Amino acid sequence: MFKNLREDIQTVFERDPAAKSWWEVLLCYPGVHALLFYRVSHWFYCKKFFVTARFLSQVGRYFTGIEIHPGARIGRGLFIDHGSGVIVGETAEIGNNVTIFQGVTLGGTGKEKGKRHPTVGNNVMISAGAKVLGSFKIGDSAKIGAGAVVLKEVPANSTVVGVPGRVVVQDGVRVNSKPCLDLAHDKIPDPVAIMIDCLQQRIDALEKELKLTREKSKEPEVENANETI
């Protein structure tokens, strides 16, 4: 328990420049508190004390605003930044070195039994407000843009944005031999803005062509006018 707590605090220092001291992280970071509640409730869940496990998870939700089902499986190095509104479903699986921002949901899409929540790979970043719904895998080193709604599998080393989520970058992010988390989620490309820019360029080109066409159509009229004079 204490080893995991030390790892959780060290993870915060690695990924949050606002962290100043161990006491600050231990007392003021809800993501760390949520993981503590999760580990205790997960132990009871594995021992089949389901009501106790759910009760502890709900106590953790009350104090942190983060709801992690005790049946979820979470790897090492999870960082939940801010955390308010984060929901992790019962059959969700989270790999190592994953970063999750506020408002993220790892949920299901219906009342099906068995595995119904996503599996998140290693070194994944899920931005604020993203919804990942269904039983599929998010590949290693993938990035999910803010507000995206992901409903199908995401390949490794790719970036997903939009509603519904679609891959806009794949194998375009440098992956070091040593896992390196890219937290620059403000630089994820916006496909809507790109499309608007393309349309604007096309409109500008058409306007130039129309202007040239009008100028050419006026030339004979000017010549005829000179002949008449």
Q: Which of 183, 156, 148, 193 is nearest to 172 (CA)?
A: 156
Q: Candidates 3.30.70.20, 2.160.10.10, 2.60.40.10, 3.40.50.880; correct CATH number of 2-187?
A: 2.160.10.10
For residues 87 and 100, give the distance between their C-alpha atoms in angstroms, rounded to a whole number: 10
What would the two tokens of residue 213 be? 């066409």
DSSP state of 96: S
Residue whose tokens read 């006026």: 218
What is the model's pTM?
0.70
According to the model, what pLDDT value does residue 227 have?
52
For residues 225 and 217, give the distance between their C-alpha atoms in angstroms, rounded to a whole number: 14
Mean pLDDT of 133-148: 89
According to the model, what pLDDT value does residue 178 have?
46
Would the pLDDT of 225 be above 60?
no
Confidence of residue 11 (pLDDT cuts 50, 70, 90): confident
**What's the CA angle centered on 183, arms 4 and 163, to 5 degrees?**
110
Mean pLDDT of 67-75: 92
According to the model, what pLDDT value does residue 156 have?
87
Mean pLDDT of 108-125: 86
Mean pLDDT of 13-36: 87
Length of the chain counted residue by residue = 229
Per the DSSP assignment, residues forming a β-bridge with 201 are none
Q: How many helices and strands (H and E) does the chain possess?
A: 5, 15
**For 148-205, what is each residue's pLDDT tens digit?**
899 888 888 888 888 887 888 776 644 344 444 455 555 566 667 777 888 888 898 8
Confidence of residue 57 (pLDDT cuts 50, 70, 90): very high
Would the pLDDT of 77 be above 70?
yes
For residues 49 and 164, give the distance between their C-alpha atoms in angstroms, rounded to a whole number: 38
For residues 150 and 167, give the distance between their C-alpha atoms in angstroms, rounded to a whole number: 10
3-state secondary structure of 177: coil
What would the two tokens of residue 7 be? 């790892």
For residues 154 and 142, give the distance between their C-alpha atoms in angstroms, rounded to a whole number: 7
Mean pLDDT (the chain) is 83
According to the model, what pLDDT value does residue 229 have?
47
Query: For residue 141, what are the CA distances in angstroms to 77, 98, 173?
Result: 14, 9, 9
According to the model, what pLDDT value does residue 173 have?
45
Lowest-pLDDT range of 74-78, 105-109, 129-133, 220-224: 220-224
